Amino acid sequence: MTLAELQDVALRGKMPKFVGKQLAEWLYDKKVTSFDEMANISKKNKEWLAENYIIGREAPSSAAKSSDGTVKYLFKVGNGNSIESVYIPDKERATLCVSSQAGCKMNCYFCATGRMGFKANLTAAQIMNQILSIPPKASKGEAQMNPLTNIVFMGMGEPLDNFKEVKKVIEILTADWGLAWSPKRITVSTVGKLPQLKELLEETQVHVAVSVHSAETSQRESMMPAQKAFPISSVMKMLAGYDFSHQRRLSLEYIMWRNVNDDIAHAEMLVKLIGNIDCRVNLIRFHAIPGVDLVPSSEDRMLMFRSFLNQHGITATIRASRGEDIAAACGMLAK
| Residues with catalytic function | 84, 330
Q: Give the DSSP H or E segment for 128.
A: helix 124-133
Report d(CA 170, CA 178) in Å as an integer. Answer: 10
Q: Give the HSE-up count for residue 163: Cα atoms under 13 Å, Cβ half-sphere.
A: 16
Report d(CA 163, CA 199) in Å as an integer. Answer: 9
Q: Give the DSSP H or E segment for 208.
A: strand 207-211
Burial annotation 239-268 (CB, 10 A radius, 16+ → b, else e): beeeebeeebbbbbbbbbbeebbbeeebbe
Report d(CA 159, CA 324) in Å as an integer. Answer: 23
Report d(CA 101, CA 111) in Å as an integer. Answer: 14
DSSP code of 36? G
Q: Are the C-beta atoms of residues 70 and 86 closer than 8 Å to each other?
A: yes
